[in-house]
Chains A and B, each alone.
Chain A
Amino acid sequence: MAQYLPLLPEIVFTILFLIYFVIGLFIKNRQITGIMVMTISLITSFILFRADGTAFKNMFVADNFSQSLKLVFLLSLFLCTLISMRYEKIKDSIFYEYSLLMLLSTLAMMLIVSSRDLIPLFLSVEFMSLCLYLLSGFIISDLKSNEASLKYYVLGSFASAIFLFGIAAIYGVAGTTTFYGISDFLKNNSGITIYHYIGTVAIITALAFKAGCAPFHQWSPDVYEGAPTTITAFMSVGPKAAALGALGRVIFESFSFSPQLWLASLVFVALLTMATGNILALRQNNIKRLLAYSSIAHAGYVMLAVIACSQEGLNSIVFYMIIYAFMNIGAFAVVLALPDGESIEGYRGISFLNPSLSLCMLAFLFSLAGIPPFGGFIAKFLVFKSVIHSGYIWVAVIGILFSILSAYYYLRIAVKMFFSNAQEQIQSKYLIPSNLKVAIALNAGLILVTGVIPGIIM
Chain B
Amino acid sequence: MTETVSYPILSIVTFFPLIGVLIIILLKNDRAVRYTAVFTTVMNLLISIPIFTNFDKSSSSFQFVEFYNWIPAINAYYKVGVDGISILFVLLTLIISILCVAVSWSAIQETVKLFYSMILIMETAMIGVFCAMDLLLFYVFYEAMLIPMFLLIGIWGSANRIYASVKFVLFTFAGSVLMLIGIISLYFMAGKTFDVVELSKVKLPLEFQYWLFFAFFAAFAVKVPMFPFHTWLPDAHTEAPTAGSVILAGILLKIGGYGFVRFSIPFCPDATLSLKLFMQVLSLVAIIYGAFVTLMQTDFKRLIAYSSVSHMGFVTLGIFSLNTSAMQGGILQMINHGIVTGALFMCIGVIYERTHTRELIKYGGLGKAVPIFVLFYTFFSAASIGFPGTNSFIGEFLIMLGAFKSSFYIGTPLILGIALGATYMIWLYYRVVLNEVKPEIKEHLHDLNLREVLMFIPLVFLVLLIGFQPSIPLSFIDTSIKHLLDSLLNPVNLTMK
Contacts and interface: CB of A to CB of B under 8 A. Distances in A.
A415 B166 contact: yes
Interface string B164-176: 0110011001100
| Chain B contact residues, majority secondary structure | helix
A362, A381, A403, most chain B CB atoms within 10 A: A381
Nearest to B113: A355
Interface stretch (A147-155, A223-231, A406-414): A406-414
Nearest to A455: B71
B434 interface: no
Nearest to B125: A373
A384 B180 contact: yes
Interface in A386-400: 388-389, 393, 396-397, 400
Contact of A373 (B144, B169, B177): B144
A432 interface: no
B147 A396 contact: no
Interface string B213-240: 0000000000000000000000000000
Nearest to B178: A400
A262 interface: no
Nearest to B153: A419
A100 to B, nearest CB: 38
B178 A458 contact: no
Contacts, number: 85
Contact of A407 (B69, B71, B144, B173): B173
12 contacts: A362-B147, A371-B147, A373-B143, A381-B180, A382-B74, A384-B181, A388-B181, A400-B177, A400-B178, A407-B173, A419-B155, A458-B73
Contacts of B161: 419
Interface of A: 352, 355, 362, 366, 369-373, 377-378, 381-382, 384-385, 388-389, 393, 396-397, 400-401, 403-404, 407-408, 411, 414-415, 418-419, 453-455, 458
Nearest to B157: A419
Contacts of A418: 151, 154-155
A355 B204 CA distance: 49
Given A415-B154, A455-B70, A458-B71, A385 B162 contact: no
A370 B147 CA distance: 12
A408 B161 CA distance: 16
B188 A388 contact: yes
Nearest to B146: A371
Given A397-B178, A455-B70, A404 B184 contact: no
- The 5 A-B pairs with the shortest beta carbon distances in the complex, nearest first, are A372-B140, A372-B143, A458-B73, A419-B154, A400-B177
Contacts of B69: 455
| Interface size range on B against A | 35 or more
Given A371-B143, A373-B144, A419-B154, A385 B70 contact: no
Contact of B170 (A355, A397, A408): A408
A440 to B, nearest CB: 17
Given A366-B147, A415-B162, A373 B184 contact: no
Contact of A419 (B70, B73, B146, B165): B165
Contacts of A400: 177-178, 180-181
Interface in B32-74: 69-74
Contact of A454 (B71, B146, B185): B71
Interface string B298-313: 0000000000000000
Nearest to B211: A393
